[in-house]
Amino acid sequence: MRTSFYSSEYSIDKTINEYLVLNVIRETGPLSITDIVRRTKLSRPTVETFLNHLLNIDFIVKDGYGQSKGGRKPTLWKLNKDVCYFIGVDIEPPLINVVLTDLELNIINFLTREFQTTANKEVITQRIIETIHDVINASEVEHKKIIGIGIGIPGVIDLQKGISLFIEGVPNWNNVPIKSIIHNEFDLPVFIENVVVNMAIAERTFNEELKNINNMIYIGPGTGVGAAIFINGKPYDGVTGNAGHLGQLPVGKKSPLNSENGISFLQLLSDKYAIMNKVQEENKELRSAEGIKEKISNKDLHDITTVLQEANEGNETIRNVLKEIADYYAYGIATLVNLLDIPTIVIGGIIANLDQYFLDWVSDICINKYCHQYRKSIDLRFGRIIDKVAPLGGAVLVYQDMFKEPEINL
């Protein structure tokens, strides 16, 4: 299901031509008719016909005039950012983060709500629904202008069936048909993805440095540690939508938090809870971090930012913890690089709040200890989109579906 701007009575050729015109305006507008003709290599009558169609449905607006080349100044056309809106949802226990964006993916409204992770799945899904309604109502956007809802879900999903199978730390959440629940409530197309894939999609959309990098791995630490793998410009989801669960990689060291059959996993040693607990342990003996001890012991999600800021300001206690975490990251990254032969790695999420020293640690360990054969080609960098990256990725899911190539049924 999707909202279409293509005219149903048009032939296959005309539908493709419309797609070309629309996307050249989207990608490089505002443009004059002459510019569109030159970029699409279509005839002027063809371009004018579809521009009239877009104008009739309010999809484009005038944006001033271009430079004259001897006659009248040409009218410039761009997409009407207020013609439709997208909703992006990020489920990050115990938080629900929801954004509403316009057609240009500018954030119109953002809300965060909490839920009890011990609540049953009906209560939690109702909280998600309420938060989406609150965002829409606070934005005063007409419901008919909302095109769809994109949701980022942690844990294990069934992408094809739209089911959230399991979320770490939410004991009563299992086999939740989240896609159909949200669709039935709002009567809108709903798209789900692993939350780390959504973070990576947002990063690739808004970070100009990554737009032309088709093969990359995005590491998104948070509640767990996940990886989004991009091959030929598209995310690799695997068979069920669960490719890239980097946190399940066994690391061979006993975790201070948990282990199964004597085997510890990367996320138990390096996600945000592991960082907070390790720093808390160190604080019992060292006075340098006492100023943030109380916040850390409460495990408030927002306090991880405070901890990382302390590290950036030179707190040696926290830096020592992070140096150990860097080894786990390096091991996980090296495993992916060696398996996939993709040397461009982007670390996003909360860890991207750290300064360059952390990247240097990870890179040095990765090259010297785990994958020295990539020492000249590995490209390790921080993500630049940190604030609201996950819910923005949900909005981008809807945006991408709206502008995908039309399906041609012969």
The pLDDT value recorded for residue 263 is 54
pLDDT tens, 13-44? 677 888 899 999 999 989 999 999 999 999 99
Neighbour-count burial for 242-263, b at 16+ CB within 10 Å, e otherwise = bbbbbbebebeeebeeeeeeee
Looking at the structure, tell me whether residues 18 and 160 fall in a common domain: no
Domain stops at, among 35, 52, 79? 79
Percent of the chain with pLDDT over 90: 67
Q: What's the whole-number mean pLDDT along residues 285-302? A: 47
Range of the domain at 70: 12-79
Pairwise CA distance, residues 115 & 173, whole Å: 12
**Is there a domain that residue 34 lies in?**
yes
Q: What's the whole-number mean pLDDT along residues 328-342? A: 93
Looking at the structure, tell me whether residues 61 and 148 fall in a common domain: no
pLDDT tens, 42-56? 999 999 999 998 999
Judge residue 95's burial from the number of C-beta atoms within 10 Å of its C-beta, 0-12 exposed, 13-18 middle, 19 or more buried.
middle
- Asked whether the whole model's pTM tops 0.75, one would answer yes
The pLDDT value recorded for residue 299 is 39
Looking at the structure, tell me whether residues 164 and 237 fall in a common domain: no
Contacts 24+ apart (CB under 8 A), 301-304: 301/92, 301/94, 301/95, 301/272, 303/276, 304/272, 304/275, 304/276, 304/350
CATH number at residue 126: 3.30.420.40
**Dihedral angle of Cα 167, 168, 172, 177, to the nearest 10 degrees:** 10
Looking at the structure, tell me whether residues 227 and 327 fall in a common domain: yes
CATH number at residue 19: 1.10.10.10
Entry field: residues in the chain: 410
**Is there a domain that residue 6 lies in?**
no
SS3 for 9? coil
Judge residue 135's burial from the number of C-beta atoms within 10 Å of its C-beta, 0-12 exposed, 13-18 middle, 19 or more buried.
buried
Looking at the structure, tell me whether residues 329 and 356 fall in a common domain: yes
Residue 140 in this model has a pLDDT that exceeds 60: yes
SS3 for 26? helix
**Is there a domain that residue 250 lies in?**
yes
Cβ pair 196, 226 in contact under 8 A: yes
**Is there a domain that residue 138 lies in?**
yes
- Residue 90 phi, psi dihedral angles, 5° rounding: -125, 120
Confidence of residue 169 (pLDDT cuts 50, 70, 90): confident
Residue type, 382: F
pLDDT tens, 220-242? 877 778 999 999 999 999 999 99
**Dihedral angle of Cα 384, 388, 393, 398, to the nearest 10 degrees:** -140
Looking at the structure, tell me whether residues 160 and 36 fall in a common domain: no
Looking at the structure, tell me whether residues 196 and 117 fall in a common domain: yes
Pairwise CA distance, residues 254 & 265, whole Å: 9
Report, in this order, helix, strand and coil percent for the chain, each rounded to 5: 45, 20, 35
How many independent structural domains does the chain possess? 3
Domain stops at, among 79, 100, 134? 79
Looking at the structure, tell me whether residues 368 and 225 fall in a common domain: yes
Looking at the structure, tell me whether residues 185 and 118 fall in a common domain: yes
**Is there a domain that residue 40 lies in?**
yes
Confidence of residue 375 (pLDDT cuts 50, 70, 90): confident
Whose tokens are 């956007």? That residue is 141
Looking at the structure, tell me whether residues 250 and 376 fall in a common domain: yes
Pairwise CA distance, residues 130 & 139, whole Å: 14
Pairwise CA distance, residues 328 & 247, whole Å: 10
Percent of the chain with pLDDT over 70: 87
**Is there a domain that residue 143 lies in?**
yes
pLDDT tens, 192-204? 999 999 999 999 9
Residue 277 in this model has a pLDDT that exceeds 90: no
Q: What's the whole-number mean pLDDT along residues 400-404? A: 91
Looking at the structure, tell me whether residues 22 and 48 fall in a common domain: yes
Domain stops at, among 42, 61, 79? 79
**Is there a domain that residue 259 lies in?**
yes
Closest to 293 measured CA to CA, from 301, 284, 330: 284
Looking at the structure, tell me whether residues 226 and 141 fall in a common domain: no
**Is there a domain that residue 1 lies in?**
no
Residue 312 vs residues 259, 280, 351, 353: alpha-carbon distances, Å: 31, 17, 11, 9
Closest to 263 measured CA to CA, from 283, 276, 248: 248
Cβ pair 163, 176 in contact under 8 A: yes
The pLDDT value recorded for residue 352 is 92
